[in-house]
Amino acid sequence: MLVVALGILGLLIGSFLNVVIHRVPLGESVVRPRSRCPGCGTTLLERDNIPVLSWLLLRGRCRTCGMRISARYPLVELGTGLLFGITAWWIGPSWALPAYLYLAAISVALALIDLDVKRLPDAIVLPSYVVALVLLVIPTVIDGTWPSFLRAILTGAALFLFYFLLAFIYPAGMGFGDVKLAGLLGIYLGWFAWPLAIIATFVAFLAGAVVGIAVMLRSGEGRKTKVPFGPFMLLGAYAALFWGQHVVDWYVGALTG
C-alpha cells in the first residue's frame, strides 16, 4: 500500500515538476501564473491537469487550439511515479523516506533541465542542502542515528572537494554546478555508507564516458561536443543507492575469504 500510495503521489509531483523543468531555467515563478497552452495562451482547466490521464484523453493535443502536447509531459509524470514507488519499496516505512522522496523529485527535474539547457540551477541545488539536512536530522533524532548523520555530512564535504578539484584542474570538462550537486549527492550516499560515494562516482564517469564518446562520434564535432554530466551523476548515485551495498558486501567478502 505504501508503494502504491507514493507511486500515485509521484504522478502528482511529476505534474508539478513539468512546470519546474520549464520555468526555473527561465527564472520564472513555478506558482503563478497557472499553466497555459503555449500556442493559444488558454489557461488549462483542472480536468486537463490530471497526470497522464488528461494527456491520453486529449490525445496529446490542446483542447482549444489543437496544438500538439509533447509526450515528455506524461513520461515525466510516469517516471516520477515509478521512482517514488521504487524508493518507497527500497527504503520502506522509515523516517528517512521523505528525504529520499525529495531526492527523487529533484533528480527528475535536475536531469531534464541539465539535458535541456546544460545547467544545474542554484535555485534547486542550493536550497536542497538545507532540505536534505533537515529531513535527515528527523530520523537522526528519533532513531538516534547520529553516526549516519555525521557520515552524511563528511561524505558530502569529501565528494564536493573531489569534484571541486576536478573542476579546478580541468574547468572545461567540469562545471561548478556539478560540484554543488556532488556535495548534495554525497550527503544522501553517506547516510547509508561512505563507499557508496566511490561507486556512484565510478558509475557516473563510466556512463558519461561511454555516452560522451558515442555522442561525439555521432555529432562529428569531437571534443567540442558538450555533454551534460548531471544526469550521469544522478544515475551513478541511484545505482550506488540501490545496488552499491551488494558491491561493498561482495568486496569485503572477497577480501576476508
For 194, the 3-state DSSP assignment is coil
Looking at the structure, tell me whether residues 150 and 165 fall in a common domain: yes
Give the least confident one: 46-55, 89-98, 172-181: 46-55
CA atoms 92, 98, 100, 101: torsion sign: positive
pLDDT at 257: 65
Q: Could you report the per-residue pLDDT of 98-108, keeping only the tens digit for each?
A: 999 999 999 99
Most confident of 23-32, 118-127, 163-172, 210-219: 118-127
Phi-psi region of 36 (alpha: psi -120 to 50; beta: other; left: phi over 0): beta
DSSP state for residue 92 in the 8-state scheme: -
Kindly report, residue by residue over 57-73, the tens digit of the pLDDT: 888 888 778 788 888 99
DSSP 67: P
**pLDDT band at residue 32, thresholds of 50, 70 and 90?**
confident
The answer to whether residues 88 and 101 belong to one domain is no
Please indicate, yes or no, whether residues 38 and 109 belong to a single structural domain of this protein.
Answer: no
Q: Are 63 and 164 in a shared domain?
A: no
- The domain of 189 spans 96-257
pLDDT of residue 221: 65
Same domain, 116 and 39: no
Amino acid at the residue 143:
D
Look at residues 93, 121, 151 and tell me which one is the last residue of a structural domain: 93
Cα torsion 239, 242, 245, 247 to 10°: value is -50
What pLDDT, on a 0 to 100 scale, did the predictor assign at position 9?
95
Q: For 127-131, 166-170, 229-233, which range has the lowest pLDDT when averaged over its residues?
A: 166-170
In the prediction, which pLDDT does 141 show?
A: 95
Residues with Cβ within 8 Å of residue 175, at least 6 apart in sequence: 119, 120, 167, 229
Residue 187 dihedral angles phi and psi, to the nearest 5°:
-60, -50
Regarding whether 116 and 57 lie in a shared domain, the answer is no
Residues 106 and 226 in one domain: yes
Last residue of a domain, one of 74, 93, 112: 93
Query: Hey, how many other C-beta atoms are within 10 angstroms of the C-beta on 185?
Result: 31
Radius of gyration of the chain (CA): 20
Looking at the structure of the chain, the number of domains it has is: 2
* CA within 13 Å, CB half, 72: 12
Do 125 and 17 have their domain in common? no
32: which 3 cell numbers? Answer: 503563478
Provide the residue type at 98 as one letter. Answer: P
Q: Cell 573542476 maps to which residue? A: 167
Domain stop point among 60, 93, 126:
93
Q: Do 69 and 22 fall into the same domain? A: yes
* Contact by Cβ (8 Å): 155, 210: no
- One domain, residues 63 and 105: no
Q: What is the mean pLDDT of the chain?
A: 89
Sign, Cα dihedral of 113, 119, 120, 121: negative
Are residues 157 and 197 both part of a single domain? yes
Closest by Cα among 93, 89, 92, 109 to 13? 109
The C-alpha cell of 34 is what? 497557472
177 in the same domain as 118: yes
Report residue 48 CA to chain centroid gap: 26
pLDDT in tens, 146-186: 999 999 999 999 999 999 999 998 887 788 999 999 999 99
Whole-number Å distance between alpha carbons of 196 and 240: 5
Q: Is the pTM of this model over 0.85?
A: yes
